[in-house]
Structure 1
Amino acid sequence: MAVNGTVNGTNGAHAHVSRPLRAGIYAPIPTFFLPETEDLDLESFEAHVVRLAKADVWPLLAGSMGEGLHLSHSERQTLIRSARRALDAEGLQDVPIVAGTGTGSTRETVELCNEAAAAGADYTIVITSGYFAGVLASNKPALKAFFTEVADKSPIPVIIYNYPGASGGIDLDSDVITELAVECPNICGVKLTCGNVGKLTRIAAAVSAPDFYSLHPRKNPDAPFLVLGGYADFIYSSTFVNGHGAITGLANVAPYTLAKLYDISVAAVKDTSLQPEAQRLQAIAARGDFTIAKASISGTKYLLEKLYGYGGVPRKPLPPVDPAYAESLWAHPDVQDLVQLERELSGKITH
């Protein structure tokens, strides 16, 4: 079926490809820049999107890790078109693209949703505007009105992005998110970068109820409501409470590891003999996530440079990672354990 009749690809043709939003691992793709000009480095970007998709990790573009706030409208569209072109060229036409469209006002957010759809995005993810957090944080009706209007006007389904650290401390609670899931048929999930496992459990319980979809059908049947963590350190536990995976920056560094962790965690819910191995993988991922997350965007890009030969630095005013810190990050036992596991799972080394 067509995904809301949106335009996909770069030639302006209407693509009739069903790209369902599925449970699993998504990576917020970094935006790579040429060192002298800070122009988009599309060659590295396309290579990275394809690399992760082949590991069964799906792309989220222009999010926090992708420095969406540092991108113009036209650059966001260029990234979407570039990713779609690269995926299609590799026979990965069924891999969906999630695009970040969060910004300051409701009006501009809706504008970005329309532009993302026209460029070929299948889904969008929207963060609460944090500039006026002093007004919005305690105003539940205003917060709900923002997501309701965006979802009503967006031509593609919308994922709620709950990240207090990037939205002036605004932290949507489980009641608000569950109410939006019930009331807005074009909202298809939530990313919980608040790291609140209790909140994830409560929302997952609500949307996993046997009658949820019969009572609250989705506008797009390809877009069920997914409850996704924002870190890699509770993927295993979240599967046992009907969570649906994660959108995590660590998937850029260790895509095979996180894809394997998710798959074996889901299987372990029914087959308890798999639980020790799932716990082992989770422990390695959790330690690596804790260490690498502290290095933020610049540290992740440094690790990509070490692993794949591309990465570079963030756009100014974000600074590059300190060289001494970068070396200690690479040498950290938690990082090296993760790199060793990733190489084993990707088939780059054998025993």
Structure 2
Amino acid sequence: MSAPVNGSSTNGEFSRFLKPGIYAPIPTFFLPGSEDLDLSSFEAHVTRVATAGAGPLIAGSMGEAIHLSHAERVTLIHAARKALDAAGLSHVPLIVGTGAGSTRETIELTKEAAEAGADYAIVIASGYFAGALAGNKEALKAFWTEISHKSPIPVMIYNYPGASGGIDLDSDIISELALECPNLCGVKLTCGNVGKLTRIADVVSGSDFSSKYPRKNQNAPFLVLGGFTDFITPSTYANGHGAITGLGNVAPYSIVKLFEISVASRQDSSLLPEALRLQGIIGRADFTIAKASISGTKYLLEKLYGYGGLPRKPLPPISSDAAQALWDHPHTQDLVRLERELSGKVKVQ
């Protein structure tokens, strides 16, 4: 593995900087009929998103990780790295979802991802035994503690109650993990809890956090990231670090611009009205498009870029009526216009 731009060696491997910003959980595309991996569409989309300034996350919830084999995950990591390097984006890190049913398999997946070229792992707790885990603070802490300790790459906590049987980590658990586990590099909060984000960000943004609780990998600070785009500006003012958002697949230029101008407005208050204007457009679109889930996002990608296709069964496709309503919705159209403007493509199909 060659050294990336601005990278440093850790555990005998090179890592790429994990920086605040916008990250997009990349869908996994499938060929019609066979449901085999559609790697050409996948590589094109990884490049499109990264070119816009959003970092790619592979094999997450949007990527239908639960529908992928170990070998397919490795194939996607290789394909994403190849596409980024070919596009002159060798400095862009790859975050890869490695959560599984057991701690043992999660560690196995994390090691496989690292060997395939992943820079960072993001791990969700399985919801299969949520009844036993949800109220057990010790078991939940032990899960991420062991994985981060045994992982060759930094690990991010993924808190998504909707995909983990209702398991919802509170700010105390996440803050304690941040203090106790030097190989943890952040948290994604798809619970949408702004108060939780504020409390965790206050802990890790303190002036003495980095000196008292240094990370194992100097390129991997502890980032506090939202899972939606409807509170990017407010979270920026609470020392949040951006978002990992499915909407980043549809409108990466718009969301990256929103984050950048929100950060800049902290130094130049004259920029705040524009940040709030963008936040309104993007927040409304996120609310509307998120309800259509993975199939809706894939439909919009098909409409905008000519690829998307269907999710893997048993996940159903979006109905034709719902798809048309999603495209025609004024929140969607406002976002499409904004994205066309910011990406330099002004025509709306």
Q: Identify the TM-score tier after normalising by the shorter chain.
A: over 0.9
Question: Are 2:119 and 1:85 equivalent residues in the alignment?
Answer: no
Listed as ranges, the matches of 1:303-322 within 5 Å are: 303-322=300-319
What letter matches 1:192 in structure 2?
A: L
Question: Are 2:68 and 1:99 equivalent residues in the alignment?
Answer: no
Listed as ranges, the matches of 1:170-209 within 5 Å are: 170-209=167-206
Match for residue 5 of structure 1 among 2, 7, 12: 12
CA distance in 2, matches of 1:142, 1:318: 31
Listed as ranges, the matches of 1:155-166 within 5 Å are: 155-166=152-163
User: 1:99 is paired with a residue of what secondary structure?
Assistant: strand
CA distance in 2, matches of 1:38, 1:276: 46
Match for residue 56 of structure 1 among 24, 47, 53: 53
What letter matches 1:181 in structure 2?
A: A
Contiguous gaps of at least 5 residues in structure 2: 1-7
Q: In the alignment, which residue of structure 1 is the partner of 2:126? A: 129
Question: Are 2:292 and 1:285 equivalent residues in the alignment?
Answer: no
Q: In the alignment, which residue of structure 1 is the partner of 2:29? A: 32
Q: In the alignment, which residue of structure 2 is the partner of 1:11? A: none
Q: State the Cα RMSD in Å.
A: 0.8
User: 2:225 is paired with a residue of what secondary structure?
Assistant: strand
User: 2:266 is paired with a residue of what secondary structure?
Assistant: helix
Question: Are 2:283 and 1:275 equivalent residues in the alignment?
Answer: no
Q: 1:338 to 1:131 in 2, by over 3 A?
A: same
CA distance in 2, matches of 1:231, 1:333: 19
Listed as ranges, the matches of 1:114-263 within 5 Å are: 114-263=111-260
Q: In the alignment, which residue of structure 2 is the partner of 1:19? A: 16
Q: Is the 8 A contact 1:233 1:282 kept in 2?
A: yes
TM-score using structure 1 length: 0.96
CA distance in 2, matches of 1:195, 1:115: 30
TM-score using structure 2 length: 0.97
Q: In the alignment, which residue of structure 2 is the partner of 1:266? A: 263
Contiguous gaps of at least 5 residues in structure 1: 7-15
How high is the sequence identity, in percent, across the aligned residues?
72
CA distance in 2, matches of 1:5, 1:84: 19
What letter matches 2:290 in structure 1?
A: A
Report deviation, 1:34.
0.1
Q: Is the 8 A contact 1:130 1:168 kept in 2?
A: yes
Q: Is the 8 A contact 1:3 1:122 kept in 2?
A: no
Listed as ranges, the matches of 1:293-308 within 5 Å are: 293-308=290-305
CA distance in 1, matches of 2:166, 2:11: 34
Match for residue 347 of structure 1 among 330, 344, 348: 344
Report deviation, 1:4.
3.2
User: 1:2 is paired with a residue of what secondary structure?
Assistant: strand
